[in-house]
Amino acid sequence: MRLRPRDDPVEAPPAERRPTPRGASATLLTRALRPERTLVRIRWAAVPFGLLQVLTYYQPYPPGLFQAALGLVGLMAVGNVVLWALIRRTATLASARRLSLGSLVLDLVVVMGLVFVYTFDADTAMWALVYVLPLEGATRFQLRGALGVMAVATGLYVLRELFGMLQYGNNFLATSISFRMGIGVIIAWVAGAMASSLVRDREELERATASTERYAAELAATNRRLAAANEVKDDFLAMTNHELRTPLTTIVGYATMLSERWDAVPDGRKLESVQWISRHGKRLQALVEDLLTLSSAQAGALDLELRPVRVCAAIEEAVGVVSGTALPAGSIEWSCPSGLHVWADDDRLVQVLTNYLSNALKYGAPPVRVDATVADGWVEIRVRDRGPGVPDDFVPRLFEKFSQASKGMSRTAQGTGLGLAIARQLVEAQGGHLWYERDEAGGASFGAKLRRAEVRDGSPASGHQVAR
């Protein structure tokens, strides 16, 4: 099994979040109701205008038609009140479409009713109201709506002409009907085509806007990744400034002094210089080994031999490694159930625990305590100290490479900032995971969880080679 490099998640800022389906539906609903609100206001203006035309018509009405004309104007007013109330209660796109259809039917009834009422006057221009209907149909349903409502209006107008011929003796003029209704069809076609074109343009604009916003979000995410990469570069340069240049300068300085003044340097000073060269050479060696380990883990080329490993022995070895730095007595305390084993690579497990202990001794305060416990088939190893703990704002970056609480070229902390990043890679490569939490008693608490291995007393600990 290969261990793939782990990508750090990048959280998109609130301004770049895509609109939810509920928000998109609300936008469509608002758009669908907007023409209805406009037509409600137009009808309120049409009601007094219609009353004025009915009351001041230049010819006397046949019996009952004056009341019919007033009734149609009143129907428009009452229907407008109902529509206004329904608009306020409409909450779905389906109900908005039904409302639009009902509103169109209301206007069709009122307009064609008035056209029928004034059939008694062969010279009336009231028939011109028909041209309002395809405009309304185009506003609501584009080209299909405009042509559909005009087709209905044409059929009704033909019936009106037949009614006028039979009831009032008007001439049935096919040329007049075809001309008037032909003009209406042209109006319907033009208005419907324009409305459909506007809808297509709006949809294309919305798609382009959504695409632009998506690209902008991707660009912003890329910029954040580049900024994070640039920050890692700065941290790497700061690390090399402290951890690479400083020992190299020391090594070169002592080597130059010994090569140029060998005979003049006392033997004690020579030994001290060689010890300094050796110490800083080991420091460089450790840096190179850390970089190679991290690179191998991220490339999935880390070879591990997983086998049952005695937890107590691994803790004892890690304590021995860090205790070689002349620690005061009692600086490290540890406890571990005897006979406890985990599936791990013994060298890498010791490396993880050594990194934990080194960090606790470097940034925390004694006593440092190591405890191993068993929970649900897993072994948890915790390293606690009594220091100030990790600053809250630094916790999210705690296990990233080159990360230290003091950053930049003026950082004061010693170390590469690789220890915890390497520990994370190693523990995850061995099928476990690690974490940090503030200790209840104060200080920092770092944990690692690995699968428990059941080993019988005296049985050989077999293992297997794994490339991770």
Give the whole-angstrom CA distance, residue 220 versus residue 228.
12
Burial of 70 (0-12, 13-18, 19+ CB in 10 A): middle
What does the chain come to in residues? 468
Task: Report the candidate in 120, 97, 115, 215 with the shortest Cα–Cα distance to residue 169.
Answer: 120
Rounded mean pLDDT, 229-248: 65
Return the H-helix or E-strand segment holding 427.
helix 419-429
Task: Return the CA Rg of the chain.
Answer: 43
Angstrom distance (rounded) from CA 408 to CA 239: 9
Report yes or no: 429 and 364 within 8 Å, Cβ to Cβ: no
Residue-range domain boundaries for the chain: 19-215, 245-295, 303-467
In this prediction, residue 417 has a pLDDT band, given cuts at 50, 70 and 90, of low
Residue 396 has pLDDT above 80, yes or no: no
pLDDT in tens, 93-120: 899 999 999 999 999 999 999 999 999 9
pLDDT at 13 over 50: no
Q: CA nearest 139: which of 28, 42, 39, 46?
A: 39
67 pLDDT more than 90: yes
* pLDDT value at 228 more than 50: yes
**C-alpha distance from residue 40 to each of 30, 43, 161, 249, 450 (Å):** 15, 5, 30, 85, 71
Q: What is the mean pLDDT of the chain?
A: 81
Structure tokens at 269: 């000073």
Q: Does residue 266 have a cis peptide bond before it, meaning omega lies within 30 degrees of 0? A: no
The topology under which CATH files domain 303-467 is Heat Shock Protein 90 (3.30.565)
Pairing of strands 332-335, 368-375: parallel
433-438/368-375 β-pairing: unpaired
User: What is the pLDDT at residue 234?
Assistant: 65
Q: Bridge-partner residues for 445, per DSSP?
A: 384, 437
Q: Tell which residue, 138, 184, 147, has the closest CA to residue 35.
A: 138
For range 402-430, the mean pLDDT: 65
| More confident: 351 or 79 | 79
Q: Which two tokens stand for residue 443?
A: 């200080």
Give Cβ neighbours of residue 70 (< 8 Å, ≥ 6 apart): 51, 54
Cβ contacts of 444 within 8 Å, gap of 6 or more = 360, 363, 364, 384, 385, 387, 389, 390, 436, 438
Q: Lowest mean pLDDT of 160-169, 224-233, 425-434, name the range.
A: 224-233
Whether residue 15 is predicted with pLDDT greater than 80 in this model: the reply is: no
Q: d(Cα 427, Cα 424) in Å, to the nearest integer?
A: 5
Contact, 331 vs 361, CB < 8 A? yes
Percent of the chain with pLDDT over 90: 40
Query: Phi then psi for 336, rounded to 5 degrees?
Result: -160, 130
Task: Name residues whose C-beta falls within 8 Å of residue 161's C-beta, 6 or more positions apart in sequence.
Answer: 170, 172, 173, 177
Mean pLDDT of the 365-372 span: 86
Reported as a single tens digit per residue, the pLDDT across 298-346 is: 666 667 788 899 999 999 888 888 876 556 767 888 889 888 999 988 8
Q: Are 403 and 228 in contact (CB under 8 A)?
A: no
pLDDT score of 282 more than 80: no
Tokens representing residue 465 in the block: 């080679």
Kindly report the number of other CB atoms within 10 A of residue 304's CB atom.
Answer: 23
pTM for the model stands at: 0.50
pLDDT band at 163 (very low <50, low <70, confident <90, very high): very high
| pLDDT recorded at residue 467 | 43
User: Helix, strand, or coil here: 311?
Assistant: helix
Which pair of tokens denotes residue 155?
A: 């059929």
